Amino acid sequence: MTEQWQKELVEWMGSGKLLQATLSSLRSKSGEQPSKTVVRPVKLKEGLRYQFESHFAKKVTHLNLEEAEAAERLLDLLASTYRQALVKLVDWDVQILLNSKGKATMRKQPATGKAREPLLEHNRPKNRILEEGKPAPFLVELGIMTPEGRVHAKKQDKYRQINRFLEMVSDVLDALPRDRELKIVDFGCGKSYLTFALYHFLAVEQGRDISVVGLDLKEDVIAFCSALAGKLGYDKLRFLVGDIGQYEGQQSADMVVTLHACDTATDAALAKAVGWGASVIMSVPCCQHEAFRQIENDVMAPLLTQGLLKERFAALATDAIRGNLLEVLGYKVQMLEFVDPEHTPKNLLIRAVASGQKALPASKWKQYESFRDFLSLSPALESMIAERLPKASEPIS
């Protein structure tokens, strides 16, 4: 007997409402099975087809099927291989959860974000800043692209991450100066995928006058990045060994990037950025232990007595405090999803853009104090930028 959710899936495919279905959560991990399968409509020379993109441990395969066969295969995969489907429709987002007996629970909610339209072009352009098929030398050297511009299957996630980051940078370019050299610092740059991407995007593709410094504690990583910058001819991209809190190599910066700086190292980077008067700050926090050790509140005991819940809440509270303090200092702050949460839970990016507002918003400071005191916190960032904040006895302008 055909279930209602099965009828709806078939109807969505037949009417063109289905834009994408992501199947995940394997029923069994025995044998070689794709960890997820993404289904989307594509337009080929032969006409409309549904493409099944199967993600295995070491490869990604594609299979294009006509509508009827595609619908049958989709239902079969949900019956035999997967327990979950996330379906994007033109007007709705739908989650289908299947139990061990094949009984389904369906949850619908209105589609969020921009208006959706079916995208039916096979190998359609993604409107990515770094286009596949157009080789970028740094991506080739870092093993993400072939010399012909094809993205290696194992590096698709990294390729998408780099483009996502550049998209978020592109959105705030108007906040950065154009009439002089643009100074950028990347704290905790690591292997510097994003540092090289920034330099390529701004200096090579846009022709801007920029200087970029990447800082990291690992000498071997810095040696590798320095050699690569030289090989690429990126003459205004430098890499240095050093600690974020101790770095005194410059007096100002227009943009500060910090990715996965552990615990209060993120706060040290934010404090440096604020002290330099950075117009744009892009920060992806990592492990956040400070608030976990400090946080106390009797009302929230049911949450705080559970270690996992406390850890997650402490991380959210830490970033809320960072964002609030930056707003107190006149920044416009957005919390953005950096990468797909299925790849890493550490996917939040704090983007702060200087608004030019010098007066401290009284409501923001009071909001911050109330939140901080409610959780019994003594945030590192507050102490690091204390001279820029109002004193308890001072009125806020």
- Out of 29-38, 56-65, 229-238, 357-366, which region has the weakest mean confidence (pLDDT)? 357-366
The winner for highest mean pLDDT among 5-14, 20-29, 193-202 is 193-202
pLDDT at 244: 83
Question: What pLDDT shows up at residue 343?
Answer: 44
Q: What is the pLDDT of residue 136?
A: 93
Considering only residues 57 and 24, tell me which one the structure prediction assigns the higher pLDDT.
Answer: 24
- Asked if residue 206 has pLDDT above 60, the reply is yes
CA distance 192 to 198: 10
Cα-based angle 286, 325, 344 (whole degrees, multiple of 5):
20
- Region 216-227 average pLDDT: 93
Q: Strand, coil or helix: what is 20?
A: strand
Question: What is the sign, positive or negative, of the torsion defined by CA atoms of 330, 311, 337, 90?
Answer: negative
Mean pLDDT in the chain?
Answer: 86
Give CA 394 to chain center in angstroms: 38
Domain 137-388 has CATH 3.40.50.150: yes
Instruction: Give ranges for CATH 3.40.50.150 in the chain.
Output: 137-388
Stretch 132-161: mean pLDDT: 91
Record the tokens describing residue 143, joined without a space: 């093993």
Q: Is the pLDDT of residue 357 over 80?
A: no
pLDDT of 116 above 70: no
Contacts of 100 (CB under 8 A, 6+ apart): 27
pTM: 0.67
